[in-house]
Structure 1
């Protein structure tokens, strides 16, 4: 009921931004195809709990984007798609699962992971500049594809290892002491990796929750919301300091990502978690292998 007016306002705002371009028709011709990329990336991201960077980073690499532009632009697109997905998942939780015992860990899970993730991101982005002893936390953007490849392969193996756990019929209904300690640690480390690669924290937290025996759909919803907070925390650095965002790409891919973020929930509910994880794990493994030097033809 309330979605259409908001979508109309977003469409009007988008057309206004397009009209501010010097040559709008040339911009559409050159960058319009990125809208489809945004849809695909956001559907994967919001249907699995992984960040859209899993799709955007290797694609931008193939297009020859500079490493800094890849990370910055990926974050900017995800601010659109992950936010749309997070709102969609939150509405789903509030309307259908707020009294479901299997979902009651969602708010507490966010309280445990969001501050930790933001701390990790900001420490990696600003810590090295403030304290030279923390310079290593900034990572090496020139080794982006190697880092992305290694992380993606490890993530894919973790996804495959968690697939047998998806067949559970009984799920955990509360976070014990182990989760209270481990979730912030996982989110903090994931935040650091996210600052380097534009992906990490959502994937790591989702896999952890599934392995620990929480409801799979709840784990995906929590990971999407956590990723939304995380990418918004990270984008300020790239807008104000690195200034590497390719805004023409964001104009179209961001619009597509909003659409993908809205429809992704239906994808999750339409397919079994096992099939989603198998498909996504294979996709991540292929993309990760393509980022390794032995497979990278660039």
Structure 2
């Protein structure tokens, strides 16, 4: 399994397609902020859209462009800079609700949804992302795959056949992985776990920790996997990841522990051993410091 796949497995994200907008200019849609753990996204499937959000210059988006708000920031979508809100109604009957208006200007179509993540588990992944992610359509293998998925999503949302809701959900989950991969190829990531994926000097160290988080890794051992001196590895790791190798190992262990606690019935003692702790007490202290609650409380609140 490649590293991005491992990270997405380690930090699970649920994807929902909420509705589709089919609007004629002029129009404007105001989107309020969402709670932490809910990241809105919009995919322009035809026409063009203007985006306004605090801290950024207005962005003109075109067919195939994708925007994601990992921190749930408030934002406004418009047909053009001068558009004002118009009456919009929601029609049902297809796989997704459709927001429409009666204006006859230039037509735009937008798929809208949310990425839902459990802050205690996937929080470290989303903290690696900026408040606004923009993936432009132009060029590249990822863009071709994303265009194909967007086209299928558009066709499926217009369908009324059995299984459409499940198909849309699965396609949207695949789209998140592709959006993240495409964004990483286009943007300069801030110091984070994701930044390590793009650094050929350090990526083997991250892979080693993901592959065997229970091992008591020393900085020297991790440096050896990257064919670097201990000092060089430690210095570059902190610069790229924004944390020490030891802190990164704790994050990986705590994410894996949260995953097992929420999805498995094995005892806390066994899970502690799986993620590298020699005693349940030491694990419980570390887990409580990181997640703000005991393993037992976390399991009761998040168990499936």
Q: TM-score, normalised by structure 1?
A: 0.23
Structure ranking higher on relative contact order (CA contacts 8 Å, 6+ apart): 1
More strand by share: 2
More helix by share: 1
Q: TM-score, normalised by structure 2?
A: 0.22
